[in-house]
Every structure is written in structure tokens, then in C-alpha cells.
Amino acid sequence: MALYIVDSTLDIVDSSDGVMTLREAIIEANKSSGTDWIRFDSSLSNQTIELDSDLPEITDSLNIRGRSGLSIDANGYKVFNFNADNSSLSVSKLSIQNADEAIGVYGQDNNVRISQVDVDDSEEAVSVNGSGHSVTVARSNIDGTTSGADGAIDINADDTTLNLRHSEIDGENVSQSEAIEVDGDFVTVNIHGSTIKNSGVGGREGAIDSDNGHDLTLNIHGSEILNNGDTGITIDAERADVNIFNTRFEGQDIGLEVDANNVDLDIYYSQFIENGDGIQVDGNNGPAQDLNAFVHRTEFSDNTGDGIDNNGEASDFTVSNSEFSGNGDRDLEGPDGYNIIGGLGGDVLGGSEGDDTFTGSWGRDTFEFRSTKGGDIFGDDFITDFSGDRLRIQVDNLDANDVVIAERDMDLLTIFVDEDGDLGTDDRLFQGNIQFASEFVVENLDEDDFTSDSDVDVFV
């Protein structure tokens, strides 16, 4: 273990000149076993080190700490290339510009921490390769990665964790690469208190793209995904577990796109605003299969397309206590599958007034509206243009004008009101003529509870 003080901005190796350059410090640190430290003399504050070639590989544990205003102009070369096993690298308080690769991680089972580092106009800010790494980027800024990069942060490693904390990635509307590209298997990405914006211009996926691989875990908390290319986040990895909490998606063609099978998606207290579609479920080779989605207390407003466009098959998509307003097409559009809109102790679509439209060809499957624990199912909104064969509405209470179903052929409609609930003698449930091929069932209602201006037979 040794400490090396860099006191020159030159990029040379000359043991006889009485000064130490950054290049010389890395060479000497590689000769020393254990964790070494590289610090910079106070005379280098607000100075720039210009590279003439790639810096040497870092082959052992190293802690590099810069100074206020100290920058490295890489001139298109690689800066910190960490190639070791079971080792650690820490880089802090530095600014890096014009790098081919600002920080590269190779080998296996390394622990890397990047803190208070600004990377500007570089091909890749962080490139992670090999396997088994833990990489943390904290209180850092990555701006304007160049068009040829796979991502500002590019993860080609398996069994690896990326933590992005209180940081910003800004493509500055010139970056044609994704902000974070994930190509490995069994990768975990944790994003907390960060902003990813203006990346993926020119038709590329924007903030996060899990382009290949499988078994992705993505956790996003208290962050912003803004104005990124075609999509804010694209989930292409098979078997993904995606958890989003208190995060804003705004200004993308698609806020969140799911193109893979076997995805668990949980979204809480988030906003999808002024995108094309808020959430879109597609699939790479036909409709996505086996999606299990739960969306709770989330806002879908002023999207020019659909709030949620679910084209998956064999999928459970539950929306609870959420708000839809001002979307240009449908609030929720669905395919074949089993879909639920549920309210747990509050309005399902509370605060959204007027037409909330839900449509899709659900075929022989069931589309279900469910409200429990005292929740109001629509809060004076109504449903139009339902095109499924089977509809089930389960509620505690239905208020006047809560549910209106336009003229529609339907195989089976079930209205289930909880034991202590009341539909209300003056409530209107149907509008228009509805023909039922098989049966219409009302459960737990008194005869005086139901009125309708529809041509429909009611059995109580």
C-alpha cells in the first residue's frame, strides 16, 4: 500500500525529472500490492491534464481522488481502464472530457465507486465488462455521449449490479446512444434520486435499454425520465422484475415499453405525462407473454396516444387508485388476456372527470373492474366502447353515472356488490341497448337497488 502525489499536468514517463505525472503514478501503483492511493497536489486545482495516449491499465486496487476544478482532456483516448479480479477502484472529484472510454471495468468480481465525477463529450462514460461486478455512480454528471457509443453507461457484464444515485445523465439532444445499455444476464440496476434526459435521439431507445440477456432486475425510485428518444425505458430482457416508485416519465414517444416475456412490473406513485403512450406492452416476436403488472396511485395524463396500451397475451394487468385524464386516444387499451382495474380503498380513476375509455378485443377472456375496502370504482367517470365478450364489475358502492356501458353485444356480464354495499335506487348502470348471448347476473342486490334506461333483462 502506497500514496502517490501527482504534481504535474504533463503526460510523460521520466523518472529523472523530479515530478510525478498521472501516468507515472498508475505505473507505480500497479507495482505495489494492496490498495494504493493517488492524490493531486494543490497546485493542480483548476488545471487540465491532456493525454497523448491511453493511460496504463489499472491492475490492482486503487483509490484516485482529484481536486476542485481538475480535469482530464483524454483527446479521444481511454482514461481509467480497470482490469483486475476481486479488487476495488474508487474515482472521485474529477472532470473527464473527450474520452473514448472514461472508466472501463474488466475482469471479475470487482467493486467500483465513482463519485463527484463529471464526464463530458465522451464515447462511453462507464463501460462494464466481464462478470460479478458492483458499480456505483453517485453525485455525478454524464453529458453528451457521442453518437457511436452503445450507452453512456454500457453493461456487457453478467451477474453485475449498477447503482446510480443522485446523478444526472443528459444526452444534450445530440447523443444517439442510450443513457444506460444493459446486455448482460442476471443484471441488477438500481436508480435513486437521478435524472436521465435528452438521450437516444434519432430513433434510438433513450434512457434505459435492456437490449439482450435475461433475468434483469430494475429498481427506480424518486427519479425523472425525460425527453428521451423513442422510449424512456425499454424492457427486452426475458424474465425481468421491474419496480418503479415515485418516478416521472415525460416527453418520450413511449414512456415505458415492455417487449419481453415473463415480466413482473410494479409501479407506485408515479406519473406518465405528455408521452406518446404512457406504457406500451408489445413483444419482440408477437405479443408479450406472461406479464404480471400492478399499477397503483399513478397518473396518466396528456399522453397523445394511450395511457396504457397492453398488447400482451396471458397477462394480468391491474390498475389501482390511479388517474387518467387528457389522453389523446384511449386511457387503457388491451388485448386477449385477463385484465383488472381495481380500487383498494379509493377511487380507481379518482380526479378524472368525463369519458374514461377502455377498449380492446378480450375474446373469451374476462375484463374485470374491482373496487374493495370502501373504494369508489370510477368517481363519476364512465366507461364507453367496451368490446370484450365478458365483463365483471365488483364494487362496494356504485354512485350515479359511475358506470355507463355503450351499446355492445356481450356473452356474460356479472355485477357483484359486496355484502354491505349498495348500488342505490337512483343509480344508472347502463345506457343504450345491450344484448346478452347467455346471461346477465346481479349478485347481492335488492330489487329496488337497480334502475336502468337500457333494454336489458335483469335477474336478481
In order along its 460 residues, the chain shows pLDDT tens digits of 899 999 999 999 998 999 999 999 999 999 998 999 999 999 999 999 999 999 999 999 999 999 989 999 999 999 999 999 999 999 999 999 999 999 999 999 999 999 999 999 898 999 999 999 999 999 999 987 654 556 789 999 999 999 999 999 998 766 557 899 999 999 999 999 999 999 876 555 678 888 767 899 999 999 999 998 789 999 988 889 999 999 999 999 999 999 888 899 999 999 999 999 999 987 655 556 778 888 888 888 899 988 888 776 656 677 777 777 778 877 777 654 444 454 333 344 433 333 344 433 333 334 445 443 344 444 433 444 444 444 455 444 444 444 444 344 444 444 544 444 444 433 444 443 344 333 444 444 444 444 444 444 443 3
Helix (H), strand (E) at residue 28: helix 22-31
The predicted model scores a pTM of 0.80
- The Cα 13–Cα 40 span in angstroms is 17
Give the DSSP per-residue string, 46-85. T-EEEPSSPPPPB-S-EEEE--TT-EEE-TTSEEEEEEEE
**Taking a C-beta distance cutoff of 8 angstroms, is the pair 38, 70 a contact?**
no
Domains (range + CATH), the chain: 57-449 (2.160.20)
Rg (CA), the chain: 28
- The Cα 325–Cα 333 span in angstroms is 14
Instruction: Work out the number of other CB atoms within 10 angstroms of the CB of residue 46.
Output: 10
Q: What does the pLDDT read at residue 216?
A: 94
Q: What does the pLDDT read at residue 112?
A: 98
Coil vs helix vs strand at 99? coil
- The Cα 162–Cα 218 span in angstroms is 10
